[in-house]
A and B are shown apart, each in its own frame.
Chain A
Amino acid sequence: MAMDLLRFATAGSVDDGKSTLIGRLLFDSKSIFTDQLESVEKTSQDKGHGYVDLSLLTDGLRSEREQGITIDVAYRYFATPNRKFIIADTPGHVQYTRNMVTGASTADLGLVLVDARHGLTEQSRRHAVLLSLLRVPHLVLCINKMDLVDYSQEVYNKISAEFTAFATKLNIPDLEVIPISALQGDNVVTRSTSMDWYSGPTLIHHLEHVHVASDRDLVDVRLPVQYVIRPKSDDHHDYRGYAGQVAGGVLKPGDEVMVLPSGMTSKIAGIDLFDKEIPEAFPPMSVTVRLEDDVDVSRGDMISRVKNAPEPSQDIDAMICWMTNAPLRPRQKLAIKHTSNSARALIKDIQYRLDVNSLHRDLETKELGLNEIGRVQLRTTKPLLCDPYSKNRTTGSFILIDEATGVTVGAGMIND
């Protein structure tokens, strides 16, 4: 069986022991190299720290080390014999929501850390809300520092029950609560000998076995066309292929398909992956599809099924996370990028601002500030081929770009 891949996002601040946990995962899976460890040991010593500060492993930039904070999402890699892991490590201090949303956007699993001594905090609830908003299908709550509460089952049960109750208000299809001590190594990679009452998996066992293949939509065919391949050479004179990454469904030669927004129909003549014809394509494969008829298809179009196609629409209702200092206001015009399509968008209305701590909807505010999330109505210059984000994270998401600065200022998730 070939190795597969799990992308997960970690949330929490240094105080929760997040860096120690990541350090332990990397260290126990032999993903920290001696030169990296030596450099961290030397820096810890130079700074007069009493212990090896594993957070130095993850703080990559000079200004971060100088200020002792993490500025940006950092990506880390480790592997066990069956799975490769990509961690999007998001900092707890500055630009919190923006970074967390960025890290969670590509994650299959979200890992939230709480300190067993303090239980759930406003921050841990916020982490869960953001992971749910971004539709990260699997969530793991790690109750850390169990060693400091005498490995108490009571503490575990209390926090677990409280979090489970809170999670019912959110969209979290799969939740696992694991008692750990990142510092002592309990239930991270090796099973704890101090918590006989816990019969669930260790963290690494869960990360290795959580089933993510079924998270992909294999029913609703969606192929956003990125690039039209026309070789213009004698060998491939008539070749015309539509290249893209499958965002949903399974495509097979002979399937009847519809091209949007034109609505023209044809049949799949063949699917190419480099120099081979393949019998079927499914997400997240990058393939090239040939059609039987000479229909007009270009970048930004979508190949889907005749009776199952996204609705072309210029009016979009979405949750938007705002990521820049100047607030988002009605009547503002922005560039929008959705799949392989670009257009301009006008902010028609800001319906409410969501308080990510209380889930309260503030209907009074008519603007979104930095790191705020709200429900927004937009009108686009041309129809976009949208699905609800809850159905498809690729065709249901978009980014907003400031046309003057070129900076990405918002992330959008299309509502049902």
Chain B
Amino acid sequence: MTATHADYRLSQLDQLEAESIHIFREAAAEFEKPVLMFSGGKDSIVMLRLAEKAFFPAKIPFPVLQIDNGLDFPEVAETRDRWVQRLGVRLVIASIDDAIARGIVVDDGKTSRNRLQTPTLLNAIEENGFTAAFGGGRRDEEKARAKERVYSHRDEFGQWDPKMQRPELWSLYNGRLHEGEHMRIFPISNWTELDIWDYIGREGIEIPQVYFAHQRRVFERDGMLLTETPLNPLREGEVVTERTVRYRTCGDMTLTGCVESTASTIPEIIEEVAAARVTERGATRGDDRFSEAAMEDRKKEGYF
């Protein structure tokens, strides 16, 4: 029997997976000291899964880096620890509190912890001598990201210069660096929010419970539903109520909003995401709301 082309078709998820694995292998081969930025959120978990597949049966040949902002959801931290333990990768923790104590970043009481993550991250990259950092950014997330390369070059200050990006053709990635520079690498650039969920469902991989519908005591601020926590004191007029919610993204607990939802399984989440009319960042990320170019500005400074 002769095979026809119809027998050799890869589904779009398999094609995305193959592309991401190619990127991981390429970077691991070419960079002296890569690291994977691992928050414990769904995108970084998918990244870690892809890295696991890329090098199996060998262990992932680079450590994972966690920026501890002190404001993570406890469920996210637990899931993250389980993943790190299961895969036997080395965990490097860079804590904002520690960076403040050492005078690397200044907490003026006005700047959000989100903003303080950038200098903490850049310092961790420099101190550990990392030459490449894998990030879970996706181009469908935000319009500044839509124009970012898979290999995103950062100068010795960690800055991104959107106008000076290297052309990126075929699957040929240019990893050239000068002393002190590093590369941010985005293996899941071409995945959408829905792809991530389809993949989590297909692979049956563990993600933090906060992504599923649960009862939570929340209050409304700037049109977002935030969780009640001693880390985020209520302002005048804010009232706490208990609602059935879930999170679409997992960032800083004090800035990340949840959405009212009864989706408690992956198929229900996929159905909800497919019907959603608001982007995940628009709905739930206080950190992107300061201005139309909030993400662009943070990226230029060296944000994830």
Interface of A with B (CB < 8 Å)?
2-5, 33-36, 39, 43, 57-63, 65, 71-77, 79, 83-84, 86, 98-99, 101-102, 105-106, 213-214, 216, 218, 226-227, 229-233, 235-236, 239, 243-245, 250, 272-275, 282-286, 288, 299, 323, 335, 337-338, 340, 393-394, 397-399, 401, 406-408, 411
Contact = CB atoms under 8 A, between A and B. Distances in A.
Contacts, number: 202
A269 to B, nearest CB: 15
A340 B23 CA distance: 11
A250 B56 contact: no
B277 A34 contact: yes
Nearest to B52: A274
B12 interface: yes
Given A226-B29, A286-B17, A399-B172, A2 B167 contact: no
B10 A77 contact: no
Contacts of B163: 61, 63, 71-72
A411 B140 contact: no
Contacts of A236: 57-58
B190 A75 contact: yes
A340 B55 CA distance: 16
Nearest to A288: B56
Interface in B174-196: 174, 176-178, 189-190, 192, 194-195
A171 B37 CA distance: 44
B8 A98 contact: no
29 contacts: A4-B11, A5-B16, A36-B282, A60-B142, A60-B147, A61-B144, A62-B293, A65-B292, A101-B169, A106-B169, A106-B171, A213-B9, A232-B58, A239-B58, A244-B22, A245-B171, A274-B53, A275-B57, A284-B19, A285-B14, A285-B18, A286-B18, A338-B172, A340-B29, A394-B170, A399-B172, A401-B176, A408-B168, A408-B169
Interface of B: 3, 5-6, 8-19, 21-22, 25-26, 28-29, 52-59, 139-140, 142-147, 153, 162-163, 165-172, 174, 176-178, 189-190, 192, 194-195, 276-279, 282-283, 292-293, 296
A236 B55 CA distance: 13
A84 B194 CA distance: 11
Given A34-B277, A60-B143, A76-B140, 11 more contacts: A5-B12, A33-B278, A34-B278, A60-B144, A60-B296, A99-B167, A213-B8, A227-B28, A397-B169, A399-B174, A401-B174
Given A39-B292, A62-B296, A72-B165, A105 B170 contact: yes
Nearest to B194: A79
A152 B16 CA distance: 42
A35 B282 contact: yes
B172 A337 contact: yes
A74 to B, nearest CB: 5
Contacts of B26: 226, 340
A235 B56 CA distance: 12
B191 to A, nearest CB: 9
Contact of A408 (B56, B142, B167): B167
B296 to A, nearest CB: 6
Contacts of B57: 229, 231, 233, 235-236, 239, 275
Contacts of B8: 213, 216, 218, 250, 282-283
B279 A411 contact: no
Contacts of A36: 279, 282
A411 to B, nearest CB: 5
Given A35-B279, A60-B143, A218-B5, A105 B18 contact: no
Considering the complex of A and B, which 6 residue pairs feature the smallest CB-CB distances, nearest first? A60-B143, A35-B282, A406-B176, A2-B11, A5-B12, A286-B21
B194 A229 contact: no
Given A245-B18, A337-B174, A4 B9 contact: yes
A77 B140 contact: yes
B166 A285 contact: no
Contact of A285 (B10, B168, B190): B10
B5 A213 contact: yes
